[in-house]
Chains A and B, each alone.
Chain A
């Protein structure tokens, strides 16, 4: 299975720019997607196809990358962005998720 590796946690101040990385153990082309999950809630789609912003998601969120290295950027970060962010690939079977990056605000 394709393993997706994310940093476990980040802490930033409101108004700053934050980048969350996801590295795949093998190429996933641009079949990478990003989700936000708040405690006790279901995940919410942010970015699909590596760089496409889902409808209704603020333009503060953006995604980039291809192959094995991907980035989710939030600029500027707001207090409501406190959550865990997961990357997920759908290029290789089975679909797999990263372990999540917990974003905390200082």
Chain B
């Protein structure tokens, strides 16, 4: 059974950084990409970026470059996301989600087949 276990809620001060984790089990970590997503209260979901479990290769949404840094530890099948220079706009629930690919009409399509439960980050002094 595929499981994604995320770290606990964080309360951090403005200007600080925080590192979130997503520990996986039930599948071969190095064969998949892992995405990170942001959901502010009552709002839309945003894709932050993804990272390949095999070699740590990354892709970022331009909006989050400089804000988020994705890394992996293959030995523990865990993905991490560092968020830096936090402001109130970074207060949100952050999800990790496994990337899955589907070969459709003439192209590959990526979607999120398993999601972690989310980590709430609150930025407040």
Contacts and interface: CB of A to CB of B under 8 A. Distances in A.
Contacts of A29: 104-107, 109
Contacts, number: 70
B118 to A, nearest CB: 6
Nearest to B110: A90
A60 interface: no
Interface in B58-116: 61-63, 95, 97, 100, 102, 104-107, 109-116
Interface centre among A30, A91, A95, A96 (most CB of B within 10 A): A95
B107 A48 contact: no
Contact of B61 (A86, A88, A94): A94
Contacts of B110: 90, 95
B102 A42 contact: no
B115 A30 contact: no
B47 interface: yes
B31 interface: no
A48 B106 CA distance: 15
Interface of A is mostly: loop
A81 to B, nearest CB: 19
B104 A99 contact: no
A44 B115 CA distance: 7
B44 A91 contact: no
Contacts of A100: 44
Given A29-B107, A52-B102, A94-B61, A43 B112 contact: yes
B109 A30 contact: yes
A42 B109 contact: no
A88 B97 CA distance: 14
Contacts of B102: 48-49, 52
Given A48-B102, A94-B63, 13 more contacts: A29-B104, A29-B105, A31-B107, A43-B97, A45-B112, A45-B113, A48-B113, A52-B102, A54-B113, A90-B111, A91-B109, A94-B47, A98-B44
Interface of A: 29-31, 33, 35, 41-45, 48-50, 52, 54, 86, 88, 90-91, 94-100
Question: Which 6 interchain pairs have the tightest Cβ spacing?
Answer: A42-B115, A94-B61, A33-B111, A97-B45, A95-B47, A31-B109
